[in-house]
Amino acid sequence: ILGGSEHYTGAPYFASLGALRSGSELVTVFTAEEAAVPLKCYSPELMVLPVYCADTLRSATPERLEVEVSRMVSAIVDFLPRLHCLVVGPGLGRCPHVARAVCAVLAQAQHLPVVVDADAIRIVAGQAKLASPLCVLTPNGREFSSLHEQLFGRPLGEISDCQLAQAVAAVSGKMCCAVKTV
């Protein structure tokens, strides 16, 4: 799971818990240094690898920033051969430097099944080529509306269930999408 940030540790934990409860024997969470200790404290079953420091990204010079983003990408990409799938987005946050790293990781993870959720949906919607045939987006209603607007240039607004089904079909023509609604 590539997610979590200094402000959001619960989302990657619950995504990890879901993976464990559905039969995964090992779940690795790639996250911010600031999120690593809380995540490790939530569950000893998780393998937590801090791959970037939010404070460093905020204060880095442009040259240092390139080094830090590259280091983050390398740490995750080097691990990809050991993974059976990748979940990207729970608790990720909206740091543009992390988003750049996510794009680079997704470009290298085209051979893996990838679940894109939460903040990563916005990243993938902006660069649809990152969504491989093995990629599934799992937006909630608000995220889906934003995704639809990014892909088609118009907001969904208030729509009926039938119109929602048509919108999902339209988005699914571009990428696999399973919408979470109430």
Tell me the C-alpha distance between 118 and 141, whole Å: 11
CB 14 within 8 A of CB 118: no
Tokens encoding 56: 């460093």
**Any domain includes 26:** yes
- 32 bridge partner residues: 52
Q: Is 151 a domain residue?
A: no
- Please check the confidence at residue 182 and state whether its pLDDT lies above 80: no
Calculate the average pLDDT of the chain: 92
Residue 86 covered by a domain = yes
Residue 142: inside a domain: no
Please compute the mean of the pLDDT values over residues 42-52 and round it to a whole number: 97
Tally of CA atoms within 13 A in the half-sphere of 72 that contains its CB: 28
Where is pLDDT greater, at 151 or 18? Answer: 18
How much of the chain, in percent, has pLDDT values that exceed 90? 70
Whether the per-residue pLDDT at 41 is higher than 90: the answer is yes
Residue 41 within a domain: yes
In a domain, 68, yes or no: yes
pTM: 0.92
Q: Tell me if 156 is assigned to some domain.
A: no
Report the alpha-carbon distance of residue 70 to residue 74 in Å, rounded. 6
**Domain span including residue 83:** 10-112
How many structural domains is the chain composed of?
Answer: 1
Q: Tell me, yes or no, whether 143 lies in a domain.
A: no
- Structure tokens that stand for 36 in this block: 């690593």
